[in-house]
Amino acid sequence: MLDDDYISRAIEACQSGGVIAYPTESVFGLGCLPKYEHSVTKILELKKRSVGKGLICVAADQSQLVDLVDFDALTDANEVLATWPGPTTWLIPTKKTTPRWLTGTHDTLAVRVSAYPVVQQLCEVLGPLVSTSANPQNLPPAYDSDQVSKYFLDQLDYIYPASLPLENTPTEIRHGLTGEIIRISK
């Protein structure tokens, strides 16, 4: 059962433009509202990651992503929708209004409709969230709030207290136009 206080504190931090760490179906993620460029920039700085690489956005359902990506551009949208909610992330062509701080140098955005309860509850209230693994570049992803704290000390606005199984792996990423697997869940 989810702790409503933890969810409320995470929501409040995001709504005020903050950066949070939270459990996902695979590893701990760093997140913020995608509309806040300063928050996205902070995540990239914490991870020591180039803005050019782009980020992932997670949502509670497909309708939350329609302002960011163009589902009509897909040749087989049913293939994408059949994997959601679930652990598959898809690269989907963006709308002209999708911020570059999310897409980087790409004309696609990585998006996932998550079935994970914490992500579902956060996104049901907040809408889509930026979601990138909670670790500095080239270090292993965090599987619990203690590891997140070790990586980022007091640089985050909220860390959701939880732990995930160590055997979890990052989600699979596939290209929405070709179906090509970009990253396999190991």
- Find the CATH number of the domain harbouring 27: 3.90.870.10
Tell me the DSSP string of 71-140: GGG-S-HHHHHTTTTTTEEEEEEBPTTS-HHHHTT-SEEEEEE---HHHHHHHHHH--EE-EESS-TTSP
Q: What is the pLDDT along the chain (186 residues), one digit of tens a residue?
A: 467 999 999 999 999 999 999 999 999 999 999 999 999 999 999 999 999 999 999 999 999 999 999 999 998 888 888 999 999 999 999 999 999 999 999 999 999 999 999 999 999 999 999 999 999 999 999 999 999 999 999 999 999 999 998 877 778 899 999 888 887 754
Contact 104, 52 (CB under 8 A): yes
DSSP class of residue 141 equals P
What pLDDT, on a 0 to 100 scale, did the predictor assign at position 1?
46
Joined together, the tokens standing for residue 32 give 């913020």
pTM: 0.94
Domain with 130, as residue range(s), is 4-162+169-183
Report whether 131 contacts 31 (CB < 8 A). Answer: yes
pLDDT at 167: 79
Number of domains in the chain: 1
Going by C-alpha positions, the residue among 148, 170, 168 that lies closest to residue 159 is 148
pLDDT given for residue 148 in this prediction: 98
- Of 171, 148, 126, give the one whose Cα is nearest residue 24: 171
| Beta pairing partners, 183 | 173
